[in-house]
Chains A and B, each alone.
Chain A
Amino acid sequence: MLIKKSERQVRRGALAAALASQTSGSIDRRTFLRRSGLAAGGLAALGALPLGGVRKAEAAGTGPAPAKGIIRQNICTHCSVGCTVLAEVENGVWVGQEPGWDSPISRGSHCAKGAATREIAHGERRLKYPLKLVGGKWQRISWDTAINEIGDKLLEVREKAGPDSVYWLGSAKFTNEAAYLNRKFAAFWGTNNSDHQARICHSTTVAGVANTWGYGAMTNSYNDIRNTKTIFFLGGNPAEAHPVSLQHILEGKELNRANFIVADPRLTRTAAHATEYVRLRNGTDIPVIWGMLWHIFKNGWEDKQFIAQRVYGMDDIRKEVEKWTPEEVERVSGVPGAQLERVAKMFATERPSCLIWAMGQTQHSMGTATVRASCVLLLATGNVGNFGAGANIFRGHTNVQGATDLGLDIVTLPLYYGLAEGAWRHWCRVWEVDYAWMESRFATYTGADGKPVKMMNTPGIPSTRWFDATLLPKDQVSQPDNVKVMFVMGHGGNTVTRMPEAAKGIEKLELLVVVDPVPTTWAVLSERKDGIYLLPSATSYEMAGSRTASNRSIQWGEQIIAPIFEAKNDLEIMYRLATKLGFADRMFKNIKVENNLPVAEDILREINRGGWSTGYCGQSPERLKLHMANQKDFDVVTLKAADGPCKGETYGLPWPCWGTPEFKHPGTHTLYNTNVPVREGGGTFRARFGVERVVKTKAMVDGREVEQEVRHNLLAEGSYSRGSDIQDGYPEFTYGVLKKLGWDSELSEAERATIERIGGANPDAISWATDLSGGIQRVVIGHGCAPYGNGKARAVAFGLPDAIPVHREPIYSPRPDLVAKYPTLPNARQFRVPNVGFDVQKAAVEKGLAKEFPLILSSGRLVEYEGGGEETRSNRWLAELQQDMFIEINPADAAERGIKDGGWVWVFGPADTRPKAKMRALVTERVGKGVTWSPFHFAGWFQGVDQRGKYPLGADPVVLGESVNTLTTYGYDPVTGMQEPKATLCQVRAA
C-alpha cells in the first residue's frame, strides 16, 4: 500500500516494491497511535472519552512529535460563554490553535468564530496605524500627533460646552481592567456619559433581575444546566448565539431526558432540538408568561412554601395574571391555551426548571417588565436558588458581564455602587483622590425649572440615544450642552437603531474618535469629510487581563502576541490620553505603569480593594491565574475543583467571591442558593430594598375613610442559607449591626481601625459594601450569613414604572387593535433626553402604518458573525460562510410578493425617514407568515449604496451589506433606555 512519497519512489521497480511492503514506513505511526491510546484502547478508552470521540492533546505526550511552539491561553471574545483559546505561538507569530480540553466551560470546543479567532488577531484588514479624515481622505498620522490633536480638541469642547458634551462609549470586549479604567477615566474627566454594549443587549435584564432579587446577572451557570429537568428558552437562540453552551444544554437534555421548550417567533436552530416549540408573536412574552402563570395558579402548581418564605408581592401578581385567560393570551400572542397549559405544567412540576433568555426578551420598549415577568415565573415555581434552576441569562460578549459589573454604564460607578455621594466617596477612598477635587470635575446643570442639578449624581445618556443628544435642540437635553464628541472604543456604529438619524448625528459632531482594531461603521456611515480619527487598538488576544463570563466566572487571559502593526493596548491608549488631559497622575496613583502600559494585575488589585458590593474583592490576579493553570481539576457539572491547589473552589471564582483574596472564598456557582453555606458559595436573596415596606391605603372604618399603614416584611421568613447562625431573614450588615449582635469583637484590630477611619463620625454606618478591610464580610460569613442580608425577592418591584409587569404593545405594533388596551407608557424625560414613545405609537396607529408595513421585522444573531460584525466580517474564514445580508421571509409572504429564495429585495422601514435597504431574500418557514427576520451584523451598504470606497485602503471588511438597524425604529425602555429592534414593522418588495 502506497503511504508516503518515499515509498512511491521505491515502488518503481517491482522488486523494490515487494521489498518496500515489508518495511512499511507507516509502522511508526501505527505504533505511535497505539501508544497514544487510540488504537489499542478500544472500549477501555471509553472511560476517558465519555462524551466526545476525541482524545486529549496530552495523550500525545508520549509521542515523537513535539509541540510546535509556546502555548498561550486566552478567552474567546465572541460571546459570554468564555471558551478557552489555546494559541500556539512561534517566534511571536500566532501559528495555530489547539482545543482547550481542560476548560470545564468549553472542554476544547469552539463555534465558527472561536475556531477562526486566530485570523482575527492577525487579520490583514485591521487598521494598521492611526488615521485622520482630512477633506474626505484618510491620512496617516503618528500616535503622538493623534493623542495631541484629540486631547486639544477635547479640552476645547470641555471648556466651551462642559465635560458632559463628550461621550465615552466603551466596550464589552474590554478586559475587566480596561472596562474599569474606562469608567474611571470618564469619572476623572467628569461625566457619567459612559456606556457600552450592555445598554443594547442586557441593560433591561440587569435592571429587571437586580430589582427582583439583588444582582443583575445569570443566577446559575452554563454547566449547571446539566442538572435541569425542564429547560425553557424564551427569547434566546443560543445554538447560534452561544453555541458551546449547547454542549451543556444538549448533554443535560440527553442525560435527564429533560423537557426542552423553545418559545420564539422563529423556529431557530435551537428550536430544532426542542421537545416543544411554541410560536409566539414578537413582543408578547409577558402575555405568554402570565398565561403560563394563569394555569399554574389555577392548578395550584406554584411553590407555596417558597413564595411564603422568600417572595414579596406574589398576591398582587395573581391579580394581574387573572386578566390573562387562555383566550386573551391566544388573542394577543397567538399561543393556544392547551399548549401553554402543557408547558406551564412541565415548567412548574418537572423541576428543577430554568429559564434561558437573551435579547428576545430584553430588546423591547417593555424589556425590563418582560425580564421581571420571567423572574416572577421563576419565583412562583420556586425555581431560583437551586442547582439546575434559575434565570440563565446568556450575555453577548466575552466581558459584557464584567464591563457591566465594572460600571461602564450611565447609572453607576464600578460594581453597582450607584451615583449617590456615598458611592463617589467610596470610590474616591479606593482611588485615594480628594472627593472635593472629583466634585470639581463635574458640571452643574440648571434646567427650565431653575433647580441646579449636580451632573455627578445624575445618570448619563444611554448609548441608544447619543445622536438624539446631539441632534435635539439644546433645551431638550438635560445637561449643559449637546453631545459634541463621541469617543468610541470597541463599539460598532451599526448596533443602534435608527441609523439614518445616527448618520446625521455623526455629521453634527465636532469630533469622532474611533479606537478599534477595525474601522467600524462609524468611519463610513456619515458624509463627514473631516474630524474623524481612527486609532488602531489591539484585539483582546493581544492584551492580558481578566474577563467575566456570563456565569460570573472570571478567567485570566494571557497576551498571545504583542499588538501587531501600530496597534496599542486599550490600557496604554487610556493612559496616554489621561496624561494629555492632565489627570494621569491622580488616576494611576496606585497602578504601576511600565513603558506607558498600565499593569493589568495592578488594576485588578485596585478593583479587588473596592469591589465589596459585588464580591469582586476575592479574585486576585494570582488566584485567577492559578485557576487557569489548573483548569483540568474543575468538574464539568459542579465547576468545583476536586483536587489540586484550587481544591474546593469554583472555577473562575464566580462573583460574589467574598472577602479579601486571603479569605479564600471559593466563589459562588449559583446565586441565592440556600442549600449551600455562604462560606462555600451559598446565599440568600439580597435584602436590597429595605427591611419593610409601608403601604398607605385608604379603608372605611366605622363609615369613615381613614388612612391605614400596612407594613410588609421584606425580609425572608423562616428561610436561611445552610449553617446560618441567624435562622430567619436579616438586613444587610453594618458595623452597627455587628455591634448589636456582639460579633464586632471578632474583628481584628486592623479591620476595626480601617472601619473607624472610614466611618469618621459615624462608623456604625459602614457596611459590608464600604468596609475596605473586608472584616465585616469575614465575620458575618463566619456566622454563616450573607453580608448583604437575607431578604425576599420582589415580585412587585416598587419604584419601577411598572412595578407589576404589564403587557404593552411595541411602539410599532402590528396589532393596532390592541394598542388602545395595551398602550406604551406616557412620554417622559428619561436619562437627560425625552422619550416620546407614546406619541410615536399613537401616530403609528393613526397613520395606519401596520397596513402599509404589514410584516413584523425582528433582528438577531448569526453564528458566524458577532455584534456589528466589522471584525468578524473582516475574517475571511468567517466571511466566506455568510457573504450576503438577507431577510428571512415566509414562503407565503414571498409568493405574494413574487420573491424568490436568494433573490434581491428592498426592505422598507416605517420610520418618518422612510429608510430602505437592499438585501437578499431567504425564503424559509423558520419565520411564520407575517414575520421577517434579519441578522444585525452587516454594514457597509447604506440604503442601497455600497460604501466600500469610504473605508481606509485595505481595511474594508471582506463582506459588506445593509444594516438592519437602518430600518429599525423608535422605542425605548423607560428603565434603561434599551432600544426596540426585536419588534418593528417593514414591507418587502422584490428588487
Chain B
Amino acid sequence: MAMMRAPVRFLAALMLLLVVAFAVPAQAQQPTSVNPQAQSVKEQELLKELKKIQGRGTLPDARSEVIEQPAGRDWRQFHQVTLRWIGAIAILGMLALLVVFYLVRGMVRIEGGRSGRTLVRFNAFERFVHWMTASCFVILALSGLNVTFGKELLLPLMGADAFANWSQWAKYMHNYLSFPFTLGVVLMFLMWIAWNFPSAVDFRWLKEGGGIIGNAHPPARRFNAGQKMIYWVVVLGGGAAAVTGYLLMFPFYATPFYTTDVAGMQLAQMVHAIVGVVFIAVMLAHIYIGTIGMQGAFEAMGKGEVDVNWAQQHHSLWLEKEAGKGHVRGGGVAPAE
C-alpha cells in the first residue's frame, strides 16, 4: 500500500510545486500551508523505519545527536553471551586439543638426537622483537580476557574493590602495551615478510600434515606453512586488533577516515573481541609447539641457534641454503654421519 502510494504522492508533490511556482512569486519552493501538529514525528514509527533516531543538537559532538539506538541490545547479547561462547570454545577447545595431542603424540623429538652443530635461526633483533611482542601479547590477552570473563571468574574471588583495582591496572596495561605490541607486529611484518609468501612447498607440507601428524617430515624453507599461518595470524589478526583497539581507545578523535558513532564502536568491539579470542587460541598452539610440543624448537627463539638435525628435520630446504652459505657452526662442514 505504501509502495503504491509513493508515485502518487510524488506526482501530487510535483503538481503542487508547479501550482505554487506559478502562483507565488515570493517564496515558491516551500508549501506555506501546513499543520505542524498533525504532521508530528512519532517515536514508534521512526523506530520501525530506522535503526536509530537522530536529530539536530547544538553540541559540537555529533554523537550526542543520536537520541535512541536500541542496537545496544544486540551488542549486549553478543558481549554477554555470544562472545563468551566463542571465547570459551576457542580457548578451552584449543587447550583440550593440545592436551589430547600431547597425550597421543607426545613431544616431537629430534630424530637422531642433537648433532652438536648449530646454526643461527633468529638474530638478536628478531628475538627481541619476538619477545617484546610476545610478552605484550600475554598481558594484553590476560587483561583482555579479564574484560570478558573477569567479573564471572575473578570478581567473586577478589571482591569488588580489588577486582576493580586490578581491572583498572589491566586496562592501563592493555592500553599502554598496545603500543609496543603494535610496533612489534609491524616489525615482524617487515622483518619476515620475505619468507612468508605461500609457495608450492607449503602445499606438500600441508598435505603431509607438517610432519606433526604422522612421521613424515616434508621439506620446508625457513618457515613452514604452519609458521606462515602463525605469521599471518599475527600480522593480520594483530593488525585488526590494533586498528579496532585504537578506535575503541580514542573515541574522541573522529577523523575524516572513519566516524566513531556507537554502531561503529560496537562493530569495532566485536571484531576486536573475536580476533582477540581466536588470536589467543592460535597463540596457545604456537606456544605449545614452541615449548613442550617439540624438542629443540624453543632454542630458536631462546638462544637463537638451532641444532642442525632439528633444522634438517623441520626446515630441510632452509638448512641447505644456510649450509651453502657456510652458516653452520661447530663440528665441521658436513653432517656427522
Contacts and interface: CB of A to CB of B under 8 A. Distances in A.
The answer on A and B forming one complex is: yes
B36 A335 contact: no
A881 B33 CA distance: 32
Contacts of A274: 35-37
Contact of B33 (A2, A9, A272, A338): A338
B23 interface: yes
B59 interface: yes
Interface stretch (A169-177, A355-363, A690-698, A927-935): A927-935
A540 to B, nearest CB: 26
Contact of B35 (A276, A336, A880, A925): A276
Nearest to A901: B56
A279 B32 contact: yes
B23 A330 contact: yes
Interface string A330-353: 111111101100000000000000
B337 interface: no
B37 A864 contact: no
Interface residues of B, dominant DSSP: loop
Nearest to A892: B29
A271 interface: yes
A11 B27 contact: no
Nearest to A267: B36
A711 interface: no
A657 B159 CA distance: 70
Interface string A271-307: 1111111111100000000000000000000000000
Given A272-B36, A275-B38, A277-B35, A928 B159 contact: no
A19 to B, nearest CB: 16
A929 B160 contact: no
A258 to B, nearest CB: 11
A788 B35 CA distance: 44
B34 interface: yes
Given A281-B26, A930-B27, A12 B37 contact: no
A339 B36 contact: no
Contacts of B36: 267, 271-275, 277
B253 to A, nearest CB: 18
Given A272-B36, A273-B36, A864-B58, A11 B30 contact: no
Contacts of B161: 8-9, 12
B28 interface: yes
B330 interface: no
A931 B23 CA distance: 19
A969 B325 CA distance: 88
Contacts of B159: 11-12
B332 interface: no
B324 interface: no
A815 interface: yes
Interface in B1-60: 23-30, 32-38, 56, 58-60
Interface in A852-909: 864, 880-883, 890, 892
A523 to B, nearest CB: 27
Interface string A584-620: 0000000000000000000000000000000000000
B33 A275 contact: no
A279 B30 CA distance: 9
Nearest to B156: A14
A782 to B, nearest CB: 49
Contacts of B58: 864, 881-882
A890 B27 CA distance: 11
Contacts of A881: 58-59
A705 B329 CA distance: 138
A890 B29 CA distance: 10
A672 to B, nearest CB: 32
Contacts of B23: 330, 336
A279 B37 contact: no
Interface string A245-282: 00000000000000010000001000111111111110
B33 A336 contact: yes
B34 to A, nearest CB: 5
B29 A931 contact: no
A332 B26 CA distance: 7
A601 B27 CA distance: 55
A883 B59 CA distance: 8
A277 B29 contact: no
Interface string A727-738: 000000000000
Contacts of B160: 2, 8, 11-12
Contacts of A260: 37
A815 B24 CA distance: 13
Interface in A913-940: 924-925, 928-931
B84 to A, nearest CB: 23
B330 to A, nearest CB: 60
A334 B25 CA distance: 7
Interface centre among A276, A278, A334, A930 (most CB of B within 10 A): A334
Contact of B34 (A8, A277, A330, A882): A277
A336 B36 CA distance: 17
Contacts of B24: 330, 334, 336
Contacts of B35: 274-277
Nearest to A11: B160
Given A11-B160, A260-B37, A925 B30 contact: yes
A928 B30 contact: yes
B29 A815 contact: no
A578 to B, nearest CB: 44
Nearest to B56: A924
Interface string A90-101: 000000000000
Given A334-B24, A815-B26, A883 B60 contact: yes
Nearest to A280: B32
Contact of A880 (B27, B33, B59): B59
Contacts of A924: 56
Contacts of B33: 276-278, 336, 338-339
A260 B27 CA distance: 23
A929 B159 CA distance: 64
B62 to A, nearest CB: 9
Contact of B27 (A2, A864, A928): A928
A281 B25 CA distance: 11
B37 A931 contact: no
A912 to B, nearest CB: 27
Given A11-B159, A275-B35, 4 more contacts: A276-B34, A331-B25, A334-B26, A925-B30
30 contacts: A2-B160, A11-B159, A12-B159, A12-B160, A267-B36, A274-B37, A276-B33, A277-B33, A277-B34, A277-B35, A278-B32, A278-B33, A279-B27, A279-B30, A280-B32, A281-B26, A331-B26, A332-B26, A334-B26, A335-B32, A336-B24, A338-B33, A339-B32, A815-B26, A881-B58, A881-B59, A882-B58, A924-B56, A928-B29, A929-B28
9 tightest Cβ-Cβ pairs between the two chains A and B: A334-B26, A929-B29, A279-B32, A339-B33, A12-B159, A928-B27, A275-B37, A334-B27, A277-B34
